[in-house]
Amino acid sequence: ALSKVELAKRLGCSVSDLINREVDCPVEKLGRVIGKHGATIKAIEEKVGVHIDVDKIHGKIHVRGNESAAEEAVKELENLTLAVDEEIEVSAELITYLLSQHSDILSKIKDDNPDVFINVLAKITRIHMRGHPAKVSKAKSDFHSVQVVSKTRTLTGREVAIVVGKTGSTINSIS
């Protein structure tokens, strides 16, 4: 345990600026919050300039730092402690479209929802998301708003050769 003076010096603030905040964390989520060998906690401490202690028995996370840093750390921690895991079922056509080389939709949805972990489960046509409930809801809405329209046309023997091209070169250039 660091003394208040040492902590204030390390965090670059005065002892009178130090405040304590407490975040409740379900015990089953402590592993995700702490991270492998404490990596997640250390990253938050370094990013926002706070000191964090975890009470694994009571599911409490204690944050100490100046007011703005402590509030930022609490926000980061709440993104982890309140996180939900959700899967949505989508069409095979949407999965194919999202994973195609020329589709920027998946990247755009990920960029628009940076605090949501998104994993496309192609084999079972599902999308797994993890994050704060409101943010997961927005990402889910973004996926549901994507409209994929596909049309099928039967080709004659000669048309197949033209569309596919020599060693598939034509079809690869347009797909």
Q: What pLDDT does 16 receive?
A: 87
Question: Mean pLDDT of successive 10-residue segments in the chain (175 residues)?
Answer: 75 85 92 93 92 93 92 92 93 91 87 94 94 94 91 83 77 67
Task: Assess contact for 92 and 125: CB atoms under 8 A.
Answer: yes
Nearest residue to 133 via CA among 89, 90, 85, 88 = 85
Q: What pLDDT does 103 receive?
A: 77
pTM of the entire predicted model = 0.65
Please identify which residue in the block is written with the tokens 């192609």: 122
The distance from CA 65 to its chain's CA centroid, rounded to whole angstroms, is: 26
Tokens found for residue 148 = 């994929």
